[in-house]
Amino acid sequence: MDNFSPEIIYMRMALREAERAAAEGEVPCGAVIVLDGQVIGKAHNQTETLNDPTAHAEILAITQATQETGNWRLNGAVMYVTKEPCPMCAGALVLARIEKVVWGMTDPVRGGAVSKFQILNTADLNHAVEIQTGVMEMECKAVMQGFFQKRRKEAKERKQQSRQNDEDSYP
């Protein structure tokens, strides 16, 4: 894959969305949906911001894409997402008839596409989604790992500050 392949171009867009999520304190996942060479949806996780457990990047991007096309069926569309979709998002990809999903990093603990569950290619469902994995995997992992390292560091600092405050309050 060269730097000008669609996979790289659109995954870079998804990474920018993931970075926006991280800047907002959200788990850094970004998604972009493309149909006939045009971006028809892009989003990042907003579960905390919207106080909505369904506000994952994939779901929000699907909503934008269906509004853009005026059709809930996104036949022929490709989603680029920074990490493997969870079971909820994988189900939404099937229901929306997304043709293909391309992601950077797999999620062996919660992955709904191939890792933990195989929703995208379950024979009993009415649609199967083509899969391409590992696109810009290192960059996607770096954003995710950086986010959680920062969170752990901040939690440790808060705990240390709390201990210090407790010690200072005793005579």
Catalytic residues: 58
Q: Which residues contact 101 (CB under 8 A, 6 or more apart)?
A: 78, 79, 80, 81, 85, 93, 113, 120, 129, 130, 131, 132
Q: Is the dihedral of CA 104, 110, 116, 122 positive or negative?
A: negative
Structure-token pair, residue 40: 């028809």
Measured CA to CA, the distance from residue 11 to residue 31 in angstroms comes to: 8
**Residue 126 CB coordination number (10 Å):** 8
The DSSP letter of residue 85 is P
Distance CA(117)–CA(143), nearest Å, equals 24
Map tokens 């005579």 to a residue.
171
DSSP states along 15-44: HHHHHHHHHTTS---EEEEEETTEEEEEEE
